[in-house]
């Protein structure tokens, strides 16, 4: 048990990475992976997935593994993905696993949004690579318990035993009340997951419908609660500039794509983990802003 999924990730990365190691990660990606890589004086290598509809293919993965060879210590896969909402089918995961099993590399799979998969049932990569995989999950997203800070890290027994020492040196343990609350959620909260999954899907469909009406292009999201929207090509500034304009002129808050990728892809992230009323108002303001330009 860890202090949220973030501490599960930091425990795994601090435990395995050394200076000079290479970490491979499809981009765009949650910024914590890069930060922890740099803290450990390792090299973070982004695998740009934009041309493949924001999915990593087995062919591209194998090319990167062969390019960096023994320097690759860790491969990170987050799905459903933050910020794109893209996820992987069982067949696609098997193809990635068939490549990874050929290499001596730690696979860190962040599946914190696993219960929020809308079209297909989520399948864990750990099923196909049990001896190589460290699985991160928690109750924050699936049970809407973000503030309780309960995550967990799973993997081969020997690895987890040693990583437990790093975890213990950092936080010792999370609060007993927090763990009891998480236990109650896991034992008796599955109906709530399904209720919210359907509600999030409804909100996703609404946001996508409105974005199409506004005339904006975006990534087709199959999970999590984000939409990755492409900035109009007529805008010449960065994604940070665009996000600031939305904040200052339209009075709506989004996350610029520069937060998730080294080379700015001119996108921004919308979160639809909000009320329908707030989403409707935000999209009304976005439409007014876009048409005003």
- Indicate the pLDDT class of residue 66, thresholds 50, 70 and 90: very high
In the chain, domain spans: 2-188, 191-292
Whether the pLDDT of residue 293 is over 80: the answer is: no
CA distance 62 to 65: 5
Classify 270 as helix, strand or coil: strand
12, 67, 68: which is closest to 40 by C-alpha? 12
Q: Which of 16-20, 26-30, 139-143, 245-249 has the lowest mean pLDDT?
A: 139-143
Domain 191-292 has CATH 3.90.1150.10: yes
The CATH code that applies to domain 2-188 is 3.40.640.10
- Indicate the pLDDT class of residue 292, thresholds 50, 70 and 90: confident
Paired tokens of 101: 């099993």
For the chain, what is the mean pLDDT? 95
CA distance 159 to 52: 33
Reported as type and span, the H/E element at residue 279 is: helix 276-292
What's the residue count for the chain?
293
If one compares 265 and 121, the residue with the highest pLDDT of the two is: 121
90, 84, 97: which is closest to 54 by C-alpha? 84
Measured distance between the N- and C-terminal CA atoms of the chain, rounded to whole angstroms? 49
Whether the pLDDT of residue 86 is over 90: the answer is: yes
The rounded percent of the chain whose pLDDT value lies above 90 is: 91
β-sheet with 226-230: strand ranges across: 226-230, 267-271, 255-256
Q: Which residue has the tokens 């503030």?
A: 147
């Amino acid at each position: 048990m860890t202090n949220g999924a973030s501490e599960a990730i930091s425990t795994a990365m601090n435990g395995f990475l050394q200076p000079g190691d290479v970490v491979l990660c499809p981009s765009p990606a949650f910024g914590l992976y890069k930060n922890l890589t740099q803290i450990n004086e390792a090299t973070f290598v982004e695998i740009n997935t934009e041309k493949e509809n924001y999915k990593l293919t087995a062919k591209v993965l194998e090319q990167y593994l062969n390019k960096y060879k023994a320097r690759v210590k860790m491969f990170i896969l987050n799905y459903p993905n933050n910020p794109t909402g893209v996820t992987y089918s069982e067949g696609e995961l098997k193809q990635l696993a068939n490549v990874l099993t050929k290499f001596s590399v730690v696979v860190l799979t962040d599946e914190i949004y696993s219960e929020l998969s809308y079209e297909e049932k989520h399948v864990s990569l750990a099923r196909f690579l049990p001896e190589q995989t460290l699985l991160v999950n928690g109750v924050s997203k699936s049970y809407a318990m973000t503030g309780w800070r309960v995550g967990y890290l799973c993997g081969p027994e020997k690895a987890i035993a040693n990583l437990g020492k790093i975890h213990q040196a950092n936080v010792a343990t999370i609060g007993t009340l927090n763990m009891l609350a998480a236990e109650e959620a896991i034992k008796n909260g599955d109906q709530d997951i399904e209720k919210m999954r359907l509600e999030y899907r409804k909100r996703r469909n609404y946001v996508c419908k409105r974005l199409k009406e506004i005339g904006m292009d975006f990534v087709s999201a199959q999970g999590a609660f984000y939409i990755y929207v492409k900035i109009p090509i007529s805008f010449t500034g960065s994604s940070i500039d665009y996000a600031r304009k939305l904040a200052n002129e339209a009075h709506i808050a989004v996350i610029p794509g520069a937060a998730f990728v080294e080379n700015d892809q001119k996108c921004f992230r919308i979160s639809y983990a909000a009320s329908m009323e707030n989403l409707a108002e935000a999209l009304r303001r976005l439409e007014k802003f876009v048409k005003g330009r």
